[in-house]
Amino acid sequence: MMWRRMKKLTSGLITTVLSILLVVTAFTVIFHQATDGEPNVFGYQLKTVLSGSMEPEFQTGSIIAIQAKENITEFQKGDIITFHNSDGMVITHRVDEVKDNGAQYVTKGDNNNRADSELVLAESIVGQYTGFTIPYAGYVTQFANSKEGALFLLILPGVILVGYSIINIGRALRQLEASSKQEPEVSNNQ
Strands in 63-67's sheet, in edge-to-edge order, are 40-41, 44-48, 63-67, 125-134, 80-84, 90-99, 104-108, 120-121
CA dist 138 and 62 (Å) reads 5
What is the phi/psi pair of residue 176, to 5°? -65, -45
CA dist 159 and 106 (Å) reads 51
Given 51, 86, 146, 165, the catalytic residue: 51
Q: Is 51 a catalytic residue?
A: yes
Catalytic residues: 51
